[in-house]
Amino acid sequence: MTDLETFREETRNWLKANCPPEMREPMGEDDICWGGRKFEFSSPAQKQWLEVNAERGWTVPAWPKAYGGGGLSGPEQKVLAEEMKRINARPPLQSFGIWMLGPALLHFGSEEQKRHYLPQIARGEIRWCQGYSEPGAGSDLASLQTKGVDKGDHFEVTGQKIWTSYADKADWIFCLVRTEPDEKKHTGISFLLFDMETEGVSTKPIKLISGASPFCETFFDAVKVPSEQIVGERGQGWTIAKYLLTHEREMIGGSDSAIFAKSDLISDAAQAIGLDDAGRLDDPMMRAELGEFIVDEMAFDAHVAMTRAYMRAGNELGARSAELKYLGTELNKQRQSLRVAAGGADDLVWEGGSNDAGQAAKDWLRSKANSIEGGTSEVMLSILSKAILKMPG
């Protein structure tokens, strides 16, 4: 037996022994384990599943063991993912720390920072949020104005962030702050980490068209951030931010992305609309649209798999993360539009009736943000046209 086959057998046995039955059920948005100081586990099984994985480093299987990861090789990660999928095991932990901050710290953090912050992320102890956008700095993120004034042993941070996902539930923030006001816009930014309980930090949820409030406005009033909580050098913030954004885009674009509400669109449509005598969906125009969607979804799934293999082979995705982000989010918008169209009047119901009343409509509305958050589709196309296609200007 090869080492990989042995690993597969051990993994299979370990999952069998350790993954509680409840953690093999299909999950909704409410079943995600985000971790953090304020997180309330939805069941003892969820807590147990997090703990056994954290113990083994399998909340972040690719990270080095020294920082709380599993230290698995590319092929081993693939085996673990396959074995998890085989029994429908839920991800034990999902977080911005895993998807975004972790990779940035692994790349740019000091040894001390890695040893301090990464294990807390891996164990789900600290939940992070991202302080990037500002009211005056959306697509033009680098024009951000939140100030960080050097006060010797600390930076004094003052300003406002917006679209801070789950800021009201997060413990710490990674934040872009202008510390070098005399530098050009891209070179005057630093990347700071601080506790959301620090004096001067406040948050206010923003109610969205879906009725939910996953985003906040976040205010900083003379917040004291110790100098050692800067990642990288002063003025290096934009470089780190861009690196982190490529990971965010991979995450948003990935076909199993946590922000895409997946459902069996085709069987739901068959159920809602019914079939004609020839066994075809009794709505020829929608059927044709679903056909195109099926082909596009197969293409995208193949592309995600190919991209993962490319990265496991040790390649950096770089600007190409914009490609996944663009394709994945536009596809999800199409999925959600078709889903509510198939649901018809049923999916106009907002409240009342069944338990999941309004869910399809809310998912549909939520999906409209997919092609805005993490960089709009238009920003993605601009990045690709310059970085890959080498268009002038």
Partner 1 sequence: MEILNEDLGMVAESAAGLLSQSHPITAFRALRDSGAALGYDKAIVGEMAEMGWMGIALPEDVDGADFGFRAAGLIAEEMGKNLTAGPFLSTAILAATVLRTAGGDTLAQWGPRIAGGDAVIALALEEGVKHRPNRIATTATKAADGTTLNGRKSFVVDGVDADRLIVAAKDGDALVLALVDPQTKGVSVTSQVMLDHRNTAVVSLDDALVPAEAIIAEGDAAQAALDATLRAGRAVAAAEQLGNAKAAAEQTFEYLRTRKQFGVLIGMFQALQHRAADLYCELEQTSSLVAEALNALDQGRDDAEALSRAAKAKAARVGRQATEEGVQMHGGIGMTDEMDLGLFMKRDRALSEFLGDAGHHTEWLLKQRGI
Positions 273 through 332 that interact with partner 1 (CB under 8 A): 275, 279-281, 287-288, 290-292, 294-296, 298-300, 302-303, 305-307, 309-310, 313, 320, 323, 326-327
Structure tokens at 81: 């993912």
Tell me which amino acid residue 129 is.
C
Q: Phi/psi class of residue 33: alpha, beta or left (left: φ > 0; alpha: ψ in -120 to 50)?
A: beta
Largest CA distance in the chain: 78
Least separation in angstroms between residue 393's CB and partner 1 is 4
Phi, psi of 24 (to 5 degrees): -110, 5
Task: Give the nearest distance from C-beta 338 to partner 1 in angstroms.
Answer: 12
The count of chain residues that interact with partner 1, using the rule CB under 8 A, is 44
- Is 252 a binder of partner 1 (CB under 8 A)? no
With residues binned 3-state (H G I as helix, E B as strand, rest as coil), the percentages for the chain, rounded to 5, are 50, 15, 35
Of the pair 137, 327, the CB lying nearest partner 1 is at: 327
Q: Minimum distance from CB of 326 to partner 1 (Å)?
A: 6
What is the distance in angstroms between the CA of the first residue and the CA of the last residue of the chain?
56
- CB-wise, 70 or 328, nearer to partner 1? 328
Contacts of 355 (CB under 8 A, 6+ apart): none
Binding flag, residue 266, partner 1 (CB under 8 A) = yes
- 348 is a contact residue toward partner 1 (CB under 8 A): no
Sequence-distant (6+) residues with CB within 8 A of 302 are: none
319-352: string of b/e by CB count within 10 Å (b at 16+)?
Answer: bbbbbbbbbbbbbbbbbbebbbbbbeeebebeee
Of residues 87, 222, 348, 391, which one binds partner 1 by CB under 8 A?
391
> Which CB atom, from 33 or from 304, has the smaller least distance to partner 1?
304
Least CB distance from residue 263 to partner 1, whole Å?
Answer: 14
Nearer to partner 1, 218 or 370 (CB): 370
Output 26 or 393, the one with its CB closest to partner 1.
393
Q: Please tell me whether residue 4 binds partner 1 under the rule CB under 8 A.
A: no
Instruction: Pick the piece of the chain touching partner 1 (CB under 8 A) from 33-41, 75-83, 176-184, 384-392.
Output: 384-392
Q: Rounded to 5 degrees, what are φ and ψ at 38?
A: -95, 0
CA distance readout (Å), 368 to 27, 150, 209, 224? 22, 40, 10, 36
Min dist CB 86 to partner 1, Å, is 16
Instruction: CB nearer to partner 1: give 73 or 187.
Output: 73
Give the number of C-alpha atoms closer than 13 A to the C-alpha of residue 130, restricted to the C-beta side: 25
Report the residue number, 87 or 299, with the smaller CB distance to partner 1: 299
Residue 132 binds to partner 1 (criterion: CB under 8 A): no
Nearer to partner 1, 23 or 383 (CB): 383
Q: In whole angstroms, how close is the CB of 136 to partner 1 at the nearest point?
A: 22
**Residue 152 vs 393, nearer CB to partner 1:** 393
CA distance 54 to 123: 5
Cα separation, 223 vs 206, in Å, equals 22
Instruction: Return the closest-CA partner of residue 124 out of 17, 38, 191, 23.
Output: 38
Structure tokens at 21: 């039955």
Q: Note the residues at the interface with partner 1 (CB under 8 A).
A: 266-267, 269-270, 275, 279-281, 287-288, 290-292, 294-296, 298-300, 302-303, 305-307, 309-310, 313, 320, 323, 326-327, 378, 380-382, 384-386, 388-393
